[in-house]
Amino acid sequence: MTNPADNSTPATRPADGLGKITFADDQARELLQNSIAELNDPQPGRWQLVKENSSRTVYRGTIGRVDIFLKHFHNPSWSHRLGRRLGFSDAMREMRFSKYLRAHHVRTVSALACRCDGGGEWLATRAVAPSESLDKWHEEQLGLGLAGQQRIRQCTLALARLIGRMHKVGVVHQDLHCGNILLRTDTKKPTLVLMDLHRTGRRRRLSRRVRAANLAQLFHDRMHLTTRTDRLRFLERYLAESGSGGTTRGWMLLIDIFACRHTRKQYRQRDRRIFSRSRYFSPVKLPHRWRGHVVLASKRHLGGSRAAEITFTRADWLAALSSPESLFDDDVPRRAVFKDSPSSTVVRRRLKIGQHEVDVFVKRPRCKKFWKVFIDIFRPSRPVRAFELGHELLTRHIATALPLAAIQRRVGPFLRDSILITEAVDSPHLREFMDTWLSVPPRGDTPLSEPQQRKLAQEVLWQLGRMLQELHDDNFAHRDLKATNIRIRWSLGARPEVVLVDLDGLSKVRMMTAQRRFKGLMRLNVSLLQCPLVNHAGRLRMLMGYLRRPGSGRIHFKPYWRMLETWSARKLVKQIRSRRRRQKANRRPK
């Protein structure tokens, strides 16, 4: 890929020993030439910090009554350091592409000036105001009913026109997602503006594979918030705007292939960050050989989760976990023993983390079999595994209780103790939810009519099948899908959400075979058999939710249903025999 040819950009000129500055035009020079020192070193009093990471720091301020965003580039990787020495600059690239796209009627942020020399690298752009990032706007509109859906459809067509024009002039945005697109809020018709152009490139002719791979990034970003109809509507307008040939079906199949690849790549990158030090996670080192990992902030904001909206610090966690044994003290107010068995101890309590108090479950596993002591030498403890798997599920948009901390204590290679802290989910489990809202009359705090009950039951059972399908598609196998490990989060007027708790039975497998899929379906079906209000049709709806996929057409479910009934009957026989053995073992001798 090459930079766009742009001979209209003024030559780089020194600015009084403060660096070599390139201005977009004479107006930009007149506005900024007396503020170069301030742009080189923005002060906290005048400039608001918007974003900060290892590669960029973004500020917002005002110069001459003009709102300006200032982006400082400081990527520490060896490739970027070498590129800067060879004269390649992210700031200059973004400035040139901004002018090139605006000249071809593609709206972008207006670049004013940039610096790219040994003393620093930054870019100043004019703020787009009033505006809102497209991803936040989209999530807000989803909760506004039919009016929101109508605005989303209009914005979908505007987005297709924007991306189509960009591809038509040969430009590809390598970081294409709705967070890098702004929506002006002062216009009746949706007006979209591209930003973050430092990862763009240009070719004389974009092949179909390049276009599809670029669109796959956008589809991945909105996959869980849009329907197939929404994506087809976008694609039809995109093909008309960009002048690309081919059928909509062919393009959709090609984009789906690239979207799957991009999704797997993104998930692997995020999974690797769970045990690293970042703005979301941090390792902790505690007295008496306790080590572990904690959450500083949640990237995904869960419905009904208070901890997901809070930002913690490492110092907050060090103070809260200074004495891990005290987490199970009896004198803690609002403490309740949730479970005390040979396998684990679970306590619910209020935990003070910094200035915040959070309702949490504190779980301490116990080793029931001596030989597992030697296996634990070569694997992480159960809390650490549950912490990792929980955040992997959240990355894949599968709801679970937010894991907040996992710590373990080892003496040499031997695991001596471990503790998992998760946020408490104040929602009923599956059987309790069915008994509360689907009984006649319903025992919930809000009365429901019979059609409302039927619709709610159908939605919950369908979501159960979809949840299991997503687990299996991402190669997760769950061997403990009982009703008490499935919570239903629901409020009147909202869609029910299936939340998984207690991830000890969850594992990541290399290959999801048909046998593993049927075992998961069988366990969920047996759990529904224990809910008296779920009938034959309800369990069939769960199966259809698992089998149904976009564009699948008519599903011949009867072979699956017969096999599922056979496997479920075998499982019930095993459960009955196991229960009888336990009853005999607990029976007192005469």
Structural domain range at position 539: 430-586
In a domain, 547, yes or no: yes
Domain end position, chosen among 237, 272, 307: 272
Q: What CA–CA distance (Å, rounded) separates 181 from 175?
A: 11
Residue with token string 């769960």: 542
C-beta neighbour count of 130 within 10 angstroms: 10
pLDDT confidence of residue 1: 55
Unique residue bearing structure tokens 């019979």: 450
Q: Strand, coil or helix: what is 60? A: strand
Query: According to the model, what pLDDT value does residue 296 have?
Result: 95
Q: How many domains does the chain have?
A: 4
Helix or strand run (H / E) with residue 52: strand 48-52
Tokens linked to 300 = 């995904």
Beta bridge partners of 72: 57, 122
Domain-embedded: residue 2: no
- DSSP letter, residue 223: T
Per-10-residue mean pLDDT, the chain, length 590? 51 54 90 90 90 89 92 84 77 93 94 83 92 92 88 95 95 94 92 94 92 95 89 94 90 94 94 92 93 92 85 94 88 80 90 92 88 88 95 94 95 92 92 84 72 88 95 94 91 87 92 93 92 89 90 84 92 90 74
Domain presence at residue 112: yes
Same domain, 204 and 242: yes
Q: How far apart (Å, rounded) are the C-alpha atoms in residues 520 and 460?
A: 17
Is the domain of 254 the same as that of 314? Answer: no
Which tokens is 263 given? 């999704």
> For residues 69 and 123, is the Cβ–Cβ distance under 8 A?
no
Q: What is the reported pLDDT for 7? A: 43
Same domain for 438 and 402, yes or no, is: no
Q: 444 and 299, same structural domain?
A: no
Residue 5 placed within a domain: no
Alpha helix positions (H), 62-207: 78-85, 90-103, 134-142, 145-168
For residue 3, being part of any structural domain is answered with: no
Same domain, yes or no: 509 and 408? no
The crossing angle, in degrees rounded to 10, of helices 134-142 and 145-168 is: 150
Amino acid at 116: C
471 closest CA partner among 397, 528, 542, 550: 397
User: What is the pLDDT, as a whole number, of residue 8?
Assistant: 46
Instruction: Please list, in sequence order, all residues whose beta carbon lies within 8 angstroms of the beta carbon of residue 190, skipping any fewer than 6 positions away.
Output: 151, 154, 155, 158, 183, 184
Per-residue pLDDT at 143: 81
Q: Is residue 502 part of a domain?
A: yes
> What count of Cα atoms within 13 Å lies in the side-chain half-sphere of residue 229?
3
Same domain (yes/no): 570, 435: yes
Residues 411, 463, single domain; the answer is: no
Q: Which one of 248, 272, 296 terminates a domain?
A: 272
pLDDT the model gives residue 18: 54
- My answer on whether 351 and 400 are in the same domain is yes
Which residues, including other chains, have CB under 8 Å from residue 494's CB and lie 6 or more apart? 303
Q: What is the pTM of this model?
A: 0.87
347 and 494 part of one domain = no
Is 6 part of a structural domain of the chain? Answer: no
399 and 417: one domain?
yes
Same domain, 378 and 491: no
Q: Which residues of 33-55 are buried (b: 16+ CB within 10 A; e: fewer)?
A: eebbebbbebeeeebeeeeeeee
Give the number of C-alpha atoms closer than 13 A to the C-alpha of residue 485, restricted to the C-beta side.
13
Q: Phi first, then psi: what are they for 510, rounded to 5°? A: -75, -35
CA 559 to chain centre: 36
Q: Are residues 410 and 314 in the same domain?
A: yes
Note the pLDDT of residue 76: 81
Structure tokens at 589: 């001798």
Closest Cα to residue 429, out of 503, 531, 520? 531
Q: Is residue 4 part of a domain?
A: no
> Alpha helices of 247-395 — where are they, by DSSP H?
248-272, 314-320, 372-375, 382-395
**Residue 527's domain is classified under what CATH number?**
1.10.510.10
71 phi and psi, to 5 degrees?
Answer: -115, 120
